[in-house]
């Protein structure tokens, strides 16, 4: 096997890749006429490429898309339901937190009002709610 055989083997690999140009192909053919070994390899590669290309493309079964989408839609629906539940849960949580916040605010406001009224001139002192004891009027 000499250097021209090395080049021929490289060209045969390019042929397998589908990258072999016309000029290289003609050179390869010329070499193969003189070299039995390379001619054999070339013949096997040609047969192999042809066999592989004859296996060709395959068509998917007609119901593949419907089957996939039916599965996905049936499995996605519970997820959507779950998301709706989560959304309702969030809304309820918001209402509870809002109501609690409102209650706290009202309590604080009431306390402030009581404190302010308690410090006003003439207001009753601590422990005196401003009402006369029963029976002292």
Interface characters, 46-65, with other proteins (x: CB under 8 A): xxxxxxxxxxxxxxxx--xx
- Tell me the closest approach of the beta carbon of residue 18 to other proteins, in angstroms: 6
Whether 35 contacts 6, CB under 8 Å: no
Q: Of these, 2, 18, 115, 125, which contacts other proteins (CB under 8 A)?
A: 18
Whether 15 contacts 52, CB under 8 Å: no
16 binds other proteins, rule: CB under 8 A: yes
45 binds other proteins, rule: CB under 8 A: yes
Interface characters, 63-102, with other proteins (x: CB under 8 A): -xx-xxx-xxx--x--------------------------
- Tell me the closest approach of the beta carbon of residue 12 to other proteins, in angstroms: 9
C-alpha distances in angstroms, 24 versus 17, 48, 49, 62? 14, 20, 18, 44
Sign of CA dihedral 101, 103, 107, 109: positive
Q: What is the chain's length? A: 137
* Residue 65: count of CB within 10 angstroms of its CB: 10
Residues that bind other proteins (CB under 8 A): 13, 15-18, 20, 25, 40-41, 43-61, 64-65, 67-69, 71-73, 76
């Amino acid at each position: 096997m000499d250097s021209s055989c090395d080049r021929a083997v490289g060209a045969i690999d390019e042929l397998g890749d589908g990258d072999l140009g016309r000029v290289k192909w003609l050179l390869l053919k010329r070499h193969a006429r003189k070299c039995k070994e390379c001619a054999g390899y070339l013949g096997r590669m040609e047969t192999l490429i042809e066999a592989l290309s004859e296996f060709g493309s395959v068509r998917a079964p007609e119901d593949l898309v419907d089957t996939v989408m039916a599965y996905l839609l049936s499995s996605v629906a519970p997820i959507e339901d779950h998301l709706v539940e989560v959304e309702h849960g969030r809304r309820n949580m918001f209402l509870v937190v809002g109501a609690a916040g409102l209650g706290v605010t009202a309590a604080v406001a009431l306390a402030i009002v009581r404190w302010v009224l308690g410090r006003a001139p003439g207001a009753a002192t601590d422990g005196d709610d401003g009402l006369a004891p029963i029976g002292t009027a």
